[in-house]
Amino acid sequence: MTKPLLHHNDMSVCAAKVRSAFAEKGITCDHVPMDLRAGDSQKPEYTRLNPNQVVPTLVHGGVPVIESNVILEYIDGTWPQRALRPAAPADRARMRLWNKQLDDGLDAATGTISVCIALRHQHL
Ligand SMILES: N[C@@H](CCC(=O)N[C@@H](CS)C(=O)NCC(=O)O)C(=O)O
């Protein structure tokens, strides 16, 4: 199977989720570290992979997969060893509800705080 390629950043919790999933499964991937403050995620070649201009992006077999929760499902489906998702449909629904809360607003809210506080000095 082709080695996956992960575009990510050390500070990104969304990217950390994906790195953790690979570690849990014992899968090694190639890495493209992105310097977000230098504008790496806004470059045209990256925007073609991820039109949202954020990390992470996984490229596997030439196919880009974006959105950390979608990437986690992709990883679990592609490398089924040490399943990350619960097997029972009710438990899986509960898992998806937790992830939905992240996608529906929590990420955006924490992102705003990160940019205004943690990354302020970098933006200035
Ligand atoms: N919903 C996206 C959120 C991705 C996201 O917001 N990533 C942040 C880092 S955690 C980012 O790339 N921000 C761009 C920047 O800081 O310039 C996902 O889960 O993948």
- For residues 60 and 6, membership in a common domain is answered with yes
- CA triplet 21, 52, 101: central angle to 5 degrees? 55
Do 59 and 110 sit in the same domain of this protein? no
- Are both 106 and 119 inside the same structural domain? yes
CATH of residue 44: 3.40.30.10
Kindly state whether residues 96 and 80 are assigned to the same domain.
no
| Per-residue pLDDT tens digits for 23-40 | 999 999 999 999 998 999
pLDDT of residue 52: 95
Say how many Å lie between the CA of residue 100 and the centre of ligand 1. Answer: 16
Same domain (yes/no): 75, 102: no
Among 9, 10, 14, 17, the mutation site with the greatest number of ligand 1 atoms within 8 A of its Cβ is: 14
* 41 within ligand 1 shell (Cβ under 6 A): yes
Q: Find the Cα–Cα–Cα–Cα dihedral 85, 88, 94, 95, rounded to 10°.
A: 0
Per-residue pLDDT for 83 more than 80?
yes
pTM: 0.92
Q: How far is the CA of 55 from the centre of ligand 1 (A)?
A: 5
Contacts of residues 114-118 at CB distance under 8 Å and 24 or more positions apart, as own/partner, are 118/11
Centre of ligand 1 from the C-alpha of residue 88, in Å: 30
Are residues 77 and 103 located together in one domain of the fold? no
For 44-73, the pLDDT digits (tens) are: 999 999 999 999 999 999 999 999 999 999
User: What's residue 119's pLDDT?
Assistant: 76
pLDDT band of residue 122 (cuts 50, 70, 90) is: confident
Number of domains within the chain? 2
In degrees and rounded to multiples of 5, residue 108 shows phi and psi of -65, -40
Probe residue for ligand 1, chosen from 19, 42, 54 as the CB with the greatest number of ligand atoms within 8 Å: 54
Structural domain including 103 reads 86-124
